[in-house]
Amino acid sequence: MTNTIACIEKSDVILVTGSNTTENHPVISSFMKRAVKFKDAKVILVDPRRVKLAEHAHKYLRQNLGTDVAWINGMIYVIINEGLYDKKFVEERTENFEELKKAVEKYKPDYVEQITGIPSRDLTESARMFANSKNGSIVYCMGITQHTTGTDNVKSLANLSMICGHLGKEGGGVNPLRGQNNVQGACDMGGLPNVFMAYQPVIDEAARKKLEEAWGVENLSPNPGLVVTEMIPKAHSGEVKAMYIIGENPLVSDADLGHVEESLKHLDFLVVQDIFLNETAQAADVVLPSACFAEKEGTFSNTERRVQRVRKAVNPPGQAKDDWWITCEIGTRMGYEMKYQNSEEIFEEIRKVTPSYAGITYDRIEKEGIHWPCPNIEHPGTPILHIGKFTRGKGVLHPIEYTPPAEQTDDEYPFYLTTGRLLYQYHSGTMTMKTEGLNDRAPGTYVEISPQDAAKLNLIDGEKVKVASRRGEIKADVKISDKASDGTVFLPFHFAEAAANRLTIGALDPLSKIPAFKVCAVNVSKS
């Protein structure tokens, strides 16, 4: 996030897209609702499902799946064409404006309506509302990123924010909501195959030299590693022989599950480190039991870049150990000694090799977290990014063309499928499905379908149907709902016994390599 969660309440207009915020980020949604109720903020919601936040929205735009670049370009066209863009900000703080202007010329509202299904008048009014706001924030989640055009979608939102001058100030910004509590921290620590901590590229010789000296090693590889969606196919082909999976359950959460199952069977050796024996752990050769968040010390870096202390509340059960302890023991036994007394000692090393964390200490975050970047001990942290200038100097406006989803509907598979989360279950249910009250609230999967589509198929609420794609099929109960739009069905992905990802497609965004979880073609029929 370029801004803080609290900044949402300082926005005049909040553009929310690809985020079922009330179910997936309920605390953050309360900031949005308070902004509307008490501070006269306006919400523009763009989502293919009429999610609960629509009740609080001043404008609800229902787009066809996978058409986000088109409607964002349409808004940018209106804003530029009507002279509503922030001319001073664009001139002083961005580059490539003329290229962007030329690229969006064809995205007139009537043309965008043909692609997206959003009425041209609604698109135009929403564009004006966002551009004319003093402080306009953009909030998005995986409904934007989990497409073959996910990177393009994010760049397009950045274009929209920049031309309106809504970056580098309170109440503005481009704000992704993280799917889990320490995803941001994992990325900050180099949990990506092409960077070290603080996003220092592995191809950067100076960064490698600095880390070689800090760690007492030689010849750190300059070659980026593999992302998970590259590892799985290479396991299938035999290029990857062994896999070590920590805190993840790909046998429920990965796209095109049938292929994932086959791929993991081709491994010579599979290690899973987790807090419960989930579906992937059950397929492992070795399982390493680890402590959960309440059983260890450490830090979380949350969605707003705030580094916060985590404190041990109870002892871990049985032989479960801290994740860092397990990693260090393996490293030591493989010949690289990793000896730390506690998590604070590890954090002190993190400070030395991570420039954006250099000024953060356990003492400084004893009571309240600090937003990175925090380059030195006197620095207060940086709640809002890009004040005055961007990291690279000027912000780049990227001309982006709309491209349709990788898979289209046809006579055999006439519906689009999108997947997502429920309020009462979490990810693959490793924790939540061990909780009786949550299982009462969300006991199993269902396929959400519009009343019109249900009538065409002669379906009644609650009956069992078969949902099939080109990759697999599952059975689910029908849930007829006004949330669903005609031609599109929704499945929650949590439930292993009828996993939505048996249906999803493995097509990837060419840059981020994220799968298109949010759009594929399916058939729905009586089971």
> CATH number for the domain including 244?
3.40.50.740
Please determine, for residue 246, whether its predicted confidence score (pLDDT) is greater than 90: yes
| pLDDT of 426 strictly over 90 | no
Determine, yes or no, domain membership for 405. no
Residue 191 identity (one-letter amino acid): G
**Do the Cβ atoms of 211 and 220 come closer than 8 Å?**
yes
Residue 519: per-residue pLDDT: 95
The answer on 365 and 306 residing in a single domain is yes
How many domains does the chain contain in total?
3
> Cβ neighbours of residue 439 under 8 Å, at least 6 residues apart?
432, 433
What is d(CA 86, CA 76) in angstroms, rounded to the nearest whole number?
12
pLDDT computed for residue 376 by the predictor: 97
Asked if residue 301 has pLDDT above 90, the reply is yes
Residues 154 and 52 in one domain: yes
Residue 79 lies in a domain: yes
Does residue 136 share a domain with residue 22? Answer: yes
Amino acid at 328: C
Q: Check which CATH number belongs to the domain holding 68 and give it.
A: 3.40.228.10
Rounded mean pLDDT of 43-68?
A: 96
Residue 303 lies inside a defined structural domain of this protein = yes
For residues 361 and 231, membership in a common domain is answered with: yes
DSSP code at position 464 = E
Burial 221-237 (b: 16+ CB within 10 A, else e): eeeeeeebbebbeebbe
What is the DSSP pairing of strand 269-274 with strand 286-289?
parallel
Residue whose token pair is 């989803």: 405
Peptide bond into 373 cis (omega under 30): yes
Among residues 309, 344, 371, which one ends one of the domains?
371
- Which H or E run contains 401? none
In 3D space, the residue among 141, 158, 139 whose CA is nearest the CA of residue 32 turns out to be: 139
Residue 406 domain-assigned (yes or no): no
Output the average pLDDT for the chain: 95
C-alpha radius of gyration, the chain, whole number: 24
pLDDT digits (tens, 9 = 90+) for 85-142: 999 999 999 999 999 999 999 999 999 999 999 999 999 999 999 999 999 999 999 9
Residue 506's CATH number: 2.40.40.20
Clarify whether residues 69 and 100 are in a common domain: yes
Q: Report residue 416's pLDDT band, with 50, 70 and 90 as the boundaries.
A: very high
Q: Which of 177, 212, 230 delimits the end of a domain?
A: 177
387 inside domain: no
Residue 353's nearest CA partner among 211, 248, 518, 237 is: 211
Q: Which domain-ending residue is among 177, 211, 230?
A: 177
Statement to judge: residues 111 and 168 lie in one domain: yes
Is 399 part of any domain? no
Q: Which residue range is the domain that position 458 belongs to?
A: 415-526
Q: What are phi and psi of 265, to 5 degrees?
A: -65, -25
Q: Are residues 117 and 261 in the same domain?
A: no
Residue 10 shares a structural domain with residue 125: yes
Give the H or E element holding residue 171: none
Pairwise CA distance, residues 190 & 356, whole Å: 13
198 shares its domain with 95: no
Instruction: Flag whether 107 is in a domain.
Output: yes
The pLDDT of 491-518, averaged and rounded, is: 92
If you write DSSP's letter for every residue of 228-259 in order, what string do you get?
Answer: HHHHHHHHHHTS--EEEEES--HHHHSSSHHH
495 lies in the same domain as 443? yes
Q: Are residues 212 and 111 in the same domain?
A: no
pLDDT band for position 219 (50/70/90)? very high
Q: Using alpha carbons, select from 433, 466, 519 the residue that is nearest to residue 255.
A: 519
Which residue in 423, 413, 395 sits closest to 487, CA to CA? 413
The whole-number average pLDDT for the span 68-91 is: 98
Interatomic CA distance for residues 433 and 445, integer angstroms? 13
| Spatial CA neighbour of 365 closest among 299, 293, 296 | 299
CA distance 489 to 150: 20
- 181 has pLDDT over 90: no
Query: Hunting for tokens 């300059």 — which residue is that?
Result: 222
Query: Confidence class of residue 496 from pLDDT cuts 50, 70 and 90?
Result: confident
Q: Is the pLDDT of residue 518 over 90?
A: yes
User: Per the domain annotation, does 402 fall within a domain?
Assistant: no
Question: pLDDT at position 352, please?
Answer: 95
In the predicted structure, residue 358 carries a pLDDT above the cut 90? yes
Instruction: Let me know: does 509 contact 148? Beta carbons within 8 Å.
Output: yes
Task: State pLDDT tens for residues 220-242.
Answer: 999 999 999 999 999 999 999 99
Q: Are residues 220 and 126 in the same domain?
A: no
How many CA within 13 A on the CB side of residue 142? Answer: 18
340-to-298, 411, 448 alpha-carbon distances in Å? 13, 61, 50
Pairing of strands 473-480, 464-468: antiparallel
For the chain, first and last CA: distance in Å? Answer: 44
